[in-house]
Amino acid sequence: MRVATNWIRTSARVAGVGLCALLSCAAAMAQVGKPEKLECESLVTPLGMDAEKPVLSWQLRDTRDRAKQTAYEVQVASSSANLAAGKADVWDSGKVESSDSIGVAYGGPAMQPSKRYFWRVRVWDRDGKAYPASDATWWETGVLKQENWKAKWIGFEEAEERAVRESGAKWVTNADTGSEKKDKSSHAFRFHFSVSGAVKHAALYATGQDTTAAWVNGKQEMETEPLPPYGHQPWKTYFVHDVTSDVKSGSNLLAVEVIRYGGTGPQAPDISQTPMNALIYVEKSDGSTEIFKTGDAGWKGALNVSGAWQQAAFDDSSWQDAIPYVSKSANFEDAGVSRPWPTGTVKSLRKTFDVAKPVSAVRVYATALGSYKLFVNGKTVGDQILSPGWTDFREHVVYQAYDVSDLVKQGKNAIGALLAPGWYSTPLQWLRESNNYGTTPPAVRLQMRIEYRDGSADEIVSDASWKADSSSIRFAEIYDGETDDARKVQKGWDTAGFADGAWKSVEVIEPWLGVGDRKMAGEPKIEWQYFQPIRRERTLTAKAVTEPSKGVYVFDFGQNFSGVVRIRTKGAAGTDVKLRFAEVLNPDGTMYVENLRTAKATDHFILTGKGEEEFEPTFTYHGFRYAEVSGGGEQAARGGRAGGCVSYGCAVYGGAEDEERHAQQTVEQHFVGAAVELCGVADGLPAAR
């Protein structure tokens, strides 16, 4: 027993020594340091932070057992030097007995616009001992208040775009009712019009529920489409057709047929009436213009007619006058029907300005009813995509702040902006309902603050002095894609030396937002960008390239993601390189796009024919794994690449050890799934409506 007892005692002493050694080792390995990961309003060094009482946060760096914070002190100063010297000349919270390290509100005096505030935090541990003070960081205010915006909303429309938007074309329908057909009805409309003068250009705009055909002087210009399996047609935005060769001086006839699809059973809708909207825009040789539109006197309509009613010789004397369309659910004119004008081209806006003195700091504050991209002296400003983001533009819009101190120089300078429809006026949903936030065209608002080394400051603002023109981006919508005609690029348009004598003056725009009983005059509330922007997250190279049919190449990027394709190719001038997108393929290797429904999800790049050219869309994005290239695919197949556009919340994981790789791959799959659904807004299928 004595031997056993001695052995137990010896073992206990050895175990005790081992435990002490282990604890000593753990204590030695414990990391204790200054607070880290300081954030203001959940952002690191936010530029243009306008919260009245911003909330601050930090993380304790102490791996000791039962470590905790027992007190903190926040110090805010007007300069980093003051902060380093312990001089918190803006605000000092004093020592606050609290374990709070998130949601700690700034309690200092009211902040000034366009001013940087430096701050740090000191904290105390569970024993009341102070940790080292954190490193200094900062936030910087922006415009701060709505009344500090001195800039005007500005935009630009080509004459035809403005005329169509302001035409006042009405939604009309046939007067007769009581269709016996339940599955499909035909609604015919005729309108005689006279053009007084030689025709230089004419365009037809027409649409109706569900699908529309049109004839000008007996020649068919548009054709109806069958109802797809998913039961929707994209009818709430005009279809546009050039009819210059068919409209003549003197008497003309416009005939329109709308096919309305119904159904069977007691729940089948009444399809004896349907909305239709059409106009013809005519530019004459003398420069004057005319518009002939629904709502003008003289339109006639009929239900389920036969014969050659599309021809001028047809006798329509028995037809009744077309009447204003009234939604049965709303009982007033035009209710529930969209503003059907199309989005138009992306616009270029520019202004030159002089800087006479050495510069210390330059900031640009910008927002838009639409999407925008800024340039200073030919250089892209910032790395954000599709700014300002999607909000309810009737109520509020966010602005972005940019540090452009390195781009502005003493002497002559230029600032430029591309203005696109963005989420503001792009057609949405399966029916392609456009201009959802009212009748105001896209507009941008920006102001630049230049601070000089002598302490003075100037401001450059958007106003009537800016110049504008249509850009080389001929079309850009979120769902339908982007068309870029490289032949129309005006090199150096965003530089001070560019000759803009042929450009036109911008239009100063007074926002009139909302629809129906929510229509309101006045601008939306402008708020600072309190969230992370959309940025390029990573670039993917195609894993494989196939050729399912001659001249058509499919690039497989190995995973679904939200983004765009960057393509390098070459070809003859005017070559249309077409890109389509899909998440899966058909068994024969072709693109499966039926799930996109009415979304076209198609980009076009029209070549100049001058060597190798590169294209990357600016104002759209797609959700895809596969990209199909035709028209220039052979060149692109030699090295196509895709640039990802995913939202802020998706960090890239990597560098795992061998034993962690399985778990790491699982995390990657979650990342990919999140990325495809986040590009500024949660969207389960970014390419589809």
- What is the model's pTM? 0.89
**CATH architecture of the domain with range 161-324:** Sandwich (2.60)
Instruction: Please give the average per-residue pLDDT across 3-10, as a whole number.
Output: 44
72, with CB counted inside 10 A (0-12, 13-18, 19+), is buried
What topology does CATH give the domain 36-142?
A: Immunoglobulin-like (2.60.40)
Q: Which residue has the higher pLDDT, 543 or 107?
A: 107
Instruction: Please give the average per-residue pLDDT across 61-88, as a whole number.
Output: 95
pLDDT digits (tens, 9 = 90+) for 325-362: 987 665 555 555 689 999 999 999 999 999 999 999 99
**Two structure tokens written together for 42:** 């959940």
Put residue 614 in one of left, alpha, beta given phi > 0 → left and psi -120 to 50 → alpha.
beta
pLDDT digits (tens, 9 = 90+) for 626-646: 999 998 766 665 554 454 433
**Can you tell me which residue has the tokens 């790049």?**
605
Instruction: Please give the average per-residue pLDDT across 612-637, as a whole number.
Output: 86
What is the predicted pLDDT for the residue at 505?
98
**427/480 Cα distance (integer angstroms):** 9
**Which residues have CB under 8 Å from 383's CB, separation 6+?**
535, 536
Distance of CA 429 to the CA centre of its chain: 15
Please state, rounded to an integer, the average pLDDT across all residues of the chain: 87
Name residue 97's beta-bridge partners. Answer: 71
Instruction: Please give the average per-residue pLDDT across 55-66, as a whole number.
Output: 95
Q: Please say whether the structural domain 535-677 has been given the CATH code 2.30.30.30.
A: no
Asked if pLDDT for residue 519 goes beyond 80, the answer is no
pLDDT digits (tens, 9 = 90+) for 405-458: 999 999 999 999 999 999 999 998 888 889 999 999 999 999 999 999 999 999
Distance of CA 235 to the CA centre of its chain: 23
Strands (E), 8-136: 36-40, 55-59, 71-77, 91-92, 96-97, 104-105, 116-124
pLDDT digits (tens, 9 = 90+) for 364-414: 999 999 999 999 999 999 999 999 999 999 999 999 999 999 999 999 999
What topology does CATH give the domain 344-528?
A: Jelly Rolls (2.60.120)
Q: Which residue has the higher pLDDT, 24 or 248?
A: 248
Strands (E), 96-198: 96-97, 104-105, 116-124, 137-140, 154-155, 172-173, 184-195
Asked if pLDDT for residue 664 goes beyond 60, the answer is no
Task: Read off the DSSP letter of residue 183.
Answer: S
What is the predicted pLDDT for the residue at 533?
87
**Can you tell me which residue has the tokens 């869309």?**
617
pLDDT band per the 50, 70, 90 thresholds, residue 539? confident
What is the predicted pLDDT for the residue at 183?
87
Instruction: Please give the average per-residue pLDDT across 181-194, as a whole number.
Output: 93
Closest to 607 measured CA to CA, from 632, 627, 580: 632
pLDDT band per the 50, 70, 90 thresholds, residue 30? low
Alpha helices in 67-187 (DSSP H): 80-84, 159-165
**409/356 Cα distance (integer angstroms):** 9
Compute how many other C-beta atoms are within 10 angstroms of the C-beta atom of residue 588. 7
pLDDT band per the 50, 70, 90 thresholds, residue 9? very low
Asked if pLDDT for residue 617 goes beyond 80, the answer is yes
What is the predicted pLDDT for the residue at 637?
59
pLDDT digits (tens, 9 = 90+) for 151-166: 999 999 999 999 999 9
Asked if pLDDT for residue 22 goes beyond 80, the answer is no
Of 223-232, 264-273, 463-472, 563-572, highest mean pLDDT: 463-472
Q: Which residue has the higher pLDDT, 214 or 635?
A: 214
What is the predicted pLDDT for the residue at 29?
58
What is the predicted pLDDT for the residue at 515?
57
Asked if pLDDT for residue 213 goes beyond 80, the answer is yes
Q: Strand 154-155 to strand 507-508: parallel, antiparallel, or no bridges (unpaired)?
A: antiparallel
Asked if pLDDT for residue 607 goes beyond 50, the answer is yes
